[in-house]
A and B are shown apart, each in its own frame.
Chain A
Amino acid sequence: MAFSRRNIGEEIPGKASHECRAVGALNDKTDFLHADNKKVSALEGDFGARYYGSTTGRFLSPDPSGLYYANPTNPQSLNLYTYGLNNPLVNTDPFGLDCVYFNDAGNGVESIDHHSSSGECGKTGGDWVNGTTSASQIQYDPNSDTFNIQSSSMFHSYNSTAYAPGPGGGGTDSNGNPISCSGNCDTANGYSSSFRWPSGTFQLGLSGNVNIWGRLAVTGSLGVVVDTHGKLGGYVSGGGGASAGAGGGLGVQVGASNGNGICSLGGPFGNVSATGGEGAGGTVDVFAGKGDGPGGVVAGGSVTIGLAGGASGSATVTDTKVVPFGGGKCQ
């Protein structure tokens, strides 16, 4: 099984990001894509996954992949009765149920080529895994840059790092075969390569905290977050907990975490913070939660500079929602 980048449809450079939809088992794509009108119109009948009607120039049944590959920013992708987003000169869909997804950032590109080889895969910048799979068995998570292949392994889209959960690593592919690991392997952590790009997030926003009823703390923050993969999003966070002291604060927050992406900040965190100052002051906060960071923990901290109303400390639980800019969502 190969995951390669820009190996289908790349012959037309300079085009915007696009994706191709499934059409069915079209054995001779050349006939369909580059023939004259007569030849195209002669293509009528069952293409395996879908039935094509030449009279209407449309498939008579919807794309069997449904809205799985729908892109909210491209309304054409919601039309399940067309081929290649209605633009066959740009988009190809040679194997029916496969999909080509292009991302200009280079971190979300995926394709499935059932006719590749390990050599070709390497030349086209793909990652090679023993065994086969299908589109329905693969889910790409744009938030964490990982491919989930059934339940036994994942694929990092950046540098061929295959992750295999389980004691001592050594996961299996969809056929139950061990994932091949050549070169510098890190089986202790389940990665086929010991090298990973450093990951992290950086936050900038507004944050405030106030102590209520003498012993309870309420916190809140919102702002923008960017990760080391270049993804940008907005976040809003709130929470509460126990406090000591009567202080509170409000100001500009700068923070960072070891999360793999901006969505690593989504979810509940345990926080410990301290606020000091009268008038001008600030808050220091550290947080942690189980996630996709090193060791399975996403941890970080922040500093808020602004107004403060005395000294206080608090231990809180916060819940954060992250919305990626430019489409997509953190589930």
Chain B
Amino acid sequence: MEGARRMPGEEGVWVFILLDMMTFSIFFLTFLYYRGQNVALFSESQSHLSQVLGAVNTLLMLSSSWFVATAVQAARRGLGKVTPICFLLAFLCGVGFGVVKFFEYGAKIRAGITPNTNDFYMYYYMFTGIHFMHVLIGMGVLAGLVQYSSTGGFDQKKMRNIESGATFWHVVDLLWIVLFALLYLVK
């Protein structure tokens, strides 16, 4: 690993990721700016979010990323069976994330809390919604990687494609880490 520096995955994926992270950076900054204008409202609204569900989803995201990183390392060692299993476990963490989000949104909507309720919830639904679209796309990628890696033969080209997909999933994890801190935790 030491010595020669190399870029994992395809260059195009990194350009896309950079743009995506810039977009979310603007989301994060916007959220805290408007929070600063009305801290009382944002704090009161935040108190209705479930920190437990948010934390469970964080654990699922972190674990899925760990499975994905392990899958890449397994592929490098030519472990044809371990790699797809790790991608599958990561995919299942994504399913778990979706189930938790389903119950979370459901409980909010039943309580009459919608994006129109106030600014806090507008940002909450918008940011977590856009993030959830990333989760769904990422799960599609992971499902593809389960299939793709199951045939083994991890040559250079295949490793690059696997790394590209893995990198995208880590961004989905990374963005959630910040969203969880800002939306659920910061008082």
Q: Do A and B bind each other?
A: no
Q: Which residues of B approach A to under 8 Å, CB–CB?
A: none
